[in-house]
Structure 1
């Protein structure tokens, strides 16, 4: 597919250009999204298009060869792609979560070197860091470590160039993170992701067998939770989820509008002359729009706060970090509820014929239902309630 020239993305007008590229990618993905959803597996052709677009370098500064986009622009790009294909949006967005992990956990020399290499070689990063899955054990052998075990939910690991991995260090119970080449001996990628939604996220498992990890590949200085700044990783992830949920819901609503306008029929008991004048149809669409618009405003507000916090670096305070967490959790809770409601109720305005398997409009609900189970939204509500009642900020964790 023909996209904006990558050189143009480095011009002063790059912000407009990256969104133009995202729109083009979205349209390209939309053409086969329903078909590929049914097939599952790895969308190699579409991942190649993302790689060739130049957008993998969005997060990296211009000084290191990237595009230097801010968090609001990155999230807007993710949301645009999610509207067309949420699986590809998830894999794409995890590129930035992995790079943020390097920046937050590694030394200055580590992250600058890896960022520069990523920009120069257009590398794609995959995920094998699952803090709830502690089946991988790292054993020290001289001046290196050896990883053995498994990791589940490894989004984007297949077809990646590099991986962020984690393990529990034997004898210390210390949680360690490392950045390694995907093709290194001892890494075995399993094609075992076959869930009912997000079917092309390559979120299967990875097995490590005598994987050698060098000391300089460990991201432990300063490491996780060493400061309020380093703990921003979980909030970056939560806001990725939020914007993908938004994109899924926007895509579902767009499809419902299209179908209602062209195919839905006025119910026999209605006094309206057309479906577009039916009061109950308009009422439902009004509910959809108001809840979705509220979620959009909250997500954009959270992105701006996150961007401000990111710029503060190590000077970020606990209170400032807490305010970002409250904004992110509020946005996530709202779109989780609004999205599941809208993606299931679009059939009420589209009608019985919209349930035909040819349209596959159920994919929006399936994708959102699977993704919103990543971590229980009840715990976000608990954190928000603790703030509202007790003035207590959410504690730092890999999910909060």
Structure 2
């Protein structure tokens, strides 16, 4: 068991990063490594959030941790960790540094893409290089950005155009790219592209007010050469291949809950150690204020209500992942479980990260504490795709027994 909450910079030693009574989590054989990495990221998280930009040093900490190959099957030299465990690690990292947790999670999403769409030879090659060369993966797969096109040129292909929201692209060794062949939006394929390829320009132009170090800027492609063997295959070829969207959506759930956890831990610690009782509270300690107790109790219940849904969704995803083939109904049931977890966790995280300040007072809004970063991170990610459509999917299933169908967001 390990734990997970950020300590103030002046409180070091052997104390757990998070209160283990409140946030127990089983990370199996990776507990010590995750704890160590979390402490490393926490040491500069507030300052780096203020600065924005990229975090090359911290990306190297992720690489050095040996955790970037968790999703690579053992047959290809990786660790073959199950998805529920990978998602717990994402959640723990998000509680201290949501941006780096995002990059960590998207590494595994790209590795999964290779497994879902690559043929056996491609998987051996690209997953093998991922392990042997300690590759960091980025992406240029924004399905709503239609400015990038792939055209055939004799025995090879060529990419021209632009993609936005390319998380992890800056500083990556290779990208997973999606593009339609020619100008047909119906024939969209995934492909692998090393970032040193001529004609590829990765821009440092991400300026969101949250998730500030996810390197989610744009990528320009100008006559970029693509080998035929770098094409992974058509999107949506089978129900199992469409699990990629489910994997991506469940990443967001972990980021929501990680930020909620980090906000709760930081607020509890601030209340115990720094907050003063409210005027008229007639108590000596802010921790004894009955209204603070009531508010924290309510916020805790929101977090606790969301957590089991996230765990259940991860288990359902793993069961689907382990099947060599899926029916459309089996795939839809996984998407439904993830939709439930996403709506509940996003709403809980938005409330928790905003309402902690009702307990803390004006002094807690000082930039040196960085307590607003949790809300900013959740707010940015909660806009990734509308929660209303997830609730609609759930209602449609309740009323008409109609499961979610595959899309870029479900």
Taking structure 1 as the reference length, the TM-score comes to 0.94
Matches within 5 A, 1:148-167: 148-167=160-179
Answer yes or no: is 1:85 the counterpart of 2:97: yes
Show the counterpart of 2:71.
Answer: 59
Show the counterpart of 2:190.
Answer: 177
| Aligned partner (choices 243, 262, 268) of residue 232 of structure 1 | 243
Quote how far apart the aligned CAs of 1:21 are: 0.9
Answer yes or no: is 1:259 the counterpart of 2:254: no
The C-alpha deviation readout for 1:11-59, integer Å capped at 9, x for no partner, is xxx9633232112111111111010011111101110011011101100
Preserved CA contact (<8 Å) 1:80 1:247: yes
Preserved CA contact (<8 Å) 2:27 2:89: no
Matches within 5 A, 1:1-400: 16-173=28-185, 174-220=187-233, 223-314=234-325, 316-400=326-410
More helix by share: 1
Aligned Cα root-mean-square deviation (Å): 1.3
Show the counterpart of 1:5.
Answer: none
Greater shift after overlay, 112-121 or 225-234? 112-121
The 1:15–1:290 alpha-carbon spacing in structure 2 relative to 1, beyond 3 Å, is: closer
Preserved CA contact (<8 Å) 2:149 2:183: no
Quote how far apart the aligned CAs of 1:219 are: 1.2
Structure 1 unaligned regions, length at least 5: 1-13
d(CA) in 2 for partners of 1:362, 1:382: 30
The C-alpha deviation readout for 1:111-141, integer Å capped at 9, x for no partner, is 2321122111111110111110010111211
Quote how far apart the aligned CAs of 1:271 are: 3.7
Preserved CA contact (<8 Å) 1:100 1:233: yes
d(CA) in 2 for partners of 1:153, 1:236: 17
Quote how far apart the aligned CAs of 1:274 are: 2.4
Quote how far apart the aligned CAs of 1:171 are: 4.7
d(CA) in 2 for partners of 1:171, 1:324: 32
Quote how far apart the aligned CAs of 1:216 are: 0.6
Equivalent position SS for 1:77: helix
Equivalent position SS for 2:395: helix
d(CA) in 1 for partners of 2:368, 2:64: 31
Greater shift after overlay, 275-284 or 228-237? 275-284
Greater shift after overlay, 316-325 or 301-310? 316-325
The C-alpha deviation readout for 1:117-166, integer Å capped at 9, x for no partner, is 21111111101111100101112110111110000000000111110112
Quote how far apart the aligned CAs of 1:313 are: 2.3
d(CA) in 2 for partners of 1:317, 1:141: 37
Equivalent position SS for 1:57: coil
Greater shift after overlay, 233-242 or 273-282? 273-282
Quote how far apart the aligned CAs of 1:172 are: 3.7
d(CA) in 2 for partners of 1:62, 1:309: 19
Preserved CA contact (<8 Å) 1:88 1:200: yes
d(CA) in 2 for partners of 1:202, 1:92: 12
Preserved CA contact (<8 Å) 1:123 1:161: yes
d(CA) in 1 for partners of 2:381, 2:29: 29
